[in-house]
A and B are shown apart, each in its own frame.
Chain A
């Protein structure tokens, strides 16, 4: 945004004094950001490049064979075990992001439209659970949903059920519930920010011109808050596809996701190139599906309008 706004000014010829000033501002800005930028370059960008490079190599026992090959990708995409894990991971992350956005939207709307003077307090209360230890929260869900856990024993002591329900824990539903809980704040915040930007007079105008409350919401508020919905969707979907802790703790056999397979390649299986190919494939697949869904979402909203 800033770079684009500045491009034309920097490119147009202007008095040399001004250009010198520009250059010095630019130089000082670059100097200021360079420690952080170089750190991210060295410990984020470079490592990701190495992962990509490894994904085209082969593991020969302890050695790495550096001839170019697509064998790892062939394995990642065709072996049924990995294919199933990819499908399940994508499906779970898609479900989690849709459920999180749908359930969080009313809360963001409530805070934005009815939060009163204590909006910041509301937002803080929403974010607190998300800042506390992720591992502990997943563990807590295990305690809640377990066979002899809070939910079962609680319902039994209230007399609602006779014997424990076994279907609560160790399946993909448990994974979805836990992840929806973990990512709630990440969905509410961007939606709230875009709702704050919605011009309230537009909604009033729609009401004055005869739209019902619900119609005005779907034709004015929702389309205008779409940027927030989309970033909420992306910020939940992309990271959850590679979640490791939740499937391991509450997923059981039916809830295993791709991260477990990736971790195995770097641990017991010791096949780094395959692990790298699985990581790259995960990123590519989740980016493609997220892009497709964002496009579909934009298209649908345009139709409603």
Chain B
């Protein structure tokens, strides 16, 4: 008995558990690429051989290309708009102190804590009640509400370490507010801003519920995929498209993370200087 318990002690339970957890996290993501290269219309083991025909079939699919174009327009607009709004909020929170700060930040961050369907339904109601047609514009406006909290959290962590005395020094040396922002603030916070742009673009690219409710007759890629899921025969094409989107998302996120860390190091460096 004591020998058994002694043996049990040396089994690395926790690392094994963490490895299993990672397998669970990554399994669904790894399966999409595997089956997108599988030479069969069904997703069964054993695999039937390598093919790229599902990818080839995508290039001639004009409806899909249209949706991809819509997604690109929406993604660029949302990332720009939400990052600008995020900059204002993050700057206000990290640079100034004022009454109502907490309440304002709470409202801006609220979409993180609400069921997405309720945000979608309420936006749909206000849009239709005002007599506005559903279009890509309504998707952009809606997704921006949803993306600002993410932009803000990326930007706040980028702005937080920023040393205020650098700006004060610039003012003292006669630089105007705009000049100070451009020549002192911006270079330090630029990585955080680019990181925010990338993160919000990725969220917008993958966002489904708001786009589903607000897009009208112009689908984005996730809405297009949703429509295709009803047809079993279309699955391999969807898997190929999904793989491309997955790779794009992971690349952008990795880049965003690298930039975010560089921003962190830069602000730390600014602190270390005497």
| Chain A residues close to B by CB (< 8 Å) | 1-4, 6-7, 10, 25-30, 32-37, 39-41, 43-48, 50-51, 54, 103, 106-107, 110, 114, 120, 124-129, 131-137, 139-141, 143-144, 146, 148-150, 153-154, 157, 181, 184, 234-235, 238-245, 249, 259, 262-263, 266, 272, 275-276, 279, 282-283, 286
A101 to B26, CA, bound (A): 18
Task: Please tell me if the beta carbons of A37 and B107 are within 8 angstroms of each other in the complex.
Answer: yes
Task: Please tell me if the beta carbons of A3 and B25 are within 8 angstroms of each other in the complex.
Answer: no
A4 to B246, CA, bound (A): 43
Task: Please tell me if the beta carbons of A133 and B222 are within 8 angstroms of each other in the complex.
Answer: yes
Interface residues on B, range: 35 or more
Cβ of A103: which chain B residues have Cβ within 8 Å of it?
Answer: 21
Taking the complex as formed, is B1 at the interface, i.e. its CB lies under 8 A from any CB of chain A?
A: no
Q: Which listed residue, B15, B85, B101, B213, touches A29 by the CB 8 Å rule?
A: B101
A21 to B202, CA, bound (A): 41
Could you pull out 27 A-B pairs where Cβ atoms are within 8 angstroms?
A: A2-B101, A10-B99, A29-B98, A30-B92, A32-B89, A32-B91, A33-B93, A48-B122, A107-B17, A110-B15, A127-B253, A131-B202, A131-B253, A136-B225, A136-B245, A144-B31, A150-B45, A153-B46, A234-B113, A238-B113, A242-B118, A244-B116, A266-B124, A275-B121, A279-B117, A283-B114, A283-B115
Main secondary structure of the interface of B (DSSP, over half): helix
Task: Please tell me if the beta carbons of A137 and B28 are within 8 angstroms of each other in the complex.
Answer: yes
Contacts A40-B110, A136-B225, A245-B209: A47 and B242 contacting too (C-beta < 8 A)?
Answer: no
Taking the complex as formed, is B11 at the interface, i.e. its CB lies under 8 A from any CB of chain A?
A: no
| Chain B residues close to A by CB (< 8 Å) | 14-15, 17-18, 21-22, 24-29, 31-32, 35, 42-46, 84-86, 88-89, 91-93, 95-105, 107-108, 110-119, 121-126, 129, 141-142, 144-145, 148, 152, 199, 202-203, 205-206, 208-209, 213, 222, 225-226, 229, 235, 238, 242, 245-246, 249-250, 253, 257, 261
CB distance from A94 to the nearest CB of B (A): 14
Cβ of B126: which chain A residues have Cβ within 8 Å of it?
Answer: 43, 46-47, 50
Q: Which listed residue, B26, B103, B206, touches A134 by the CB 8 Å rule?
A: B206
Cβ of B107: which chain A residues have Cβ within 8 Å of it?
Answer: 37, 40-41, 44-45
Cβ of A143: which chain B residues have Cβ within 8 Å of it?
Answer: 31, 35, 43, 235
Task: Please tell me if the beta carbons of A238 and B89 are within 8 angstroms of each other in the complex.
Answer: no
CB distance from A22 to the nearest CB of B (A): 9
Task: Please tell me if the beta carbons of A132 and B29 are within 8 angstroms of each other in the complex.
Answer: yes
Cβ of A34: which chain B residues have Cβ within 8 Å of it?
Answer: 88
Main secondary structure of the interface of A (DSSP, over half): helix
Cβ of B213: which chain A residues have Cβ within 8 Å of it?
Answer: 266
Not counting A29-B96, A239-B116, a sample of 7 additional A-B residue pairs whose C-beta atoms are within 8 angstroms of each other reads A36-B92, A43-B141, A48-B118, A110-B17, A131-B206, A149-B43, A238-B115
A106 to B12, CA, bound (A): 13
Q: What 7 A-B pairs have minimum CB-CB distances, sorted nearest first?
A: A242-B115, A29-B96, A47-B122, A33-B92, A140-B28, A32-B92, A29-B98
Count chain B CB atoms within 10 A of each CB in A125, A144, A150 and give the residue with the most.
Answer: A150
Task: Please tell me if the beta carbons of B112 and A44 are within 8 angstroms of each other in the complex.
Answer: no
Cβ of A133: which chain B residues have Cβ within 8 Å of it?
Answer: 205-206, 208, 222, 242, 245-246, 249
Task: Please tell me if the beta carbons of A7 and B28 are within 8 angstroms of each other in the complex.
Answer: no
Q: What residue in chain B is nearest A152 (Cβ atoms)?
A: B44
CB distance from A35 to the nearest CB of B (A): 5
A12 to B125, CA, bound (A): 45
Contacts A37-B108, A47-B125, A51-B118: A3 and B99 contacting too (C-beta < 8 A)?
Answer: yes
Cβ of A275: which chain B residues have Cβ within 8 Å of it?
Answer: 121
Task: Please tell me if the beta carbons of A132 and B25 are within 8 angstroms of each other in the complex.
Answer: no
Contacts A36-B86, A107-B21, A242-B118: A128 and B250 contacting too (C-beta < 8 A)?
Answer: yes
Contacts A29-B95, A47-B125, A272-B125: A39 and B206 contacting too (C-beta < 8 A)?
Answer: no
Task: Please tell me if the beta carbons of B129 and A106 are within 8 angstroms of each other in the complex.
Answer: no
Count chain A CB atoms within 10 A of each CB in B110, B118, B226 and give the residue with the most.
Answer: B118
Task: Please tell me if the beta carbons of A243 and B96 are within 8 angstroms of each other in the complex.
Answer: no
Q: What residue in chain B is nearest A178 (Cβ atoms)?
A: B28
Contacts A36-B108, A132-B206, A279-B118: A3 and B124 contacting too (C-beta < 8 A)?
Answer: no
Q: Which listed residue, B98, B242, B261, touches A30 by the CB 8 Å rule?
A: B98
A27 to B89, CA, bound (A): 14
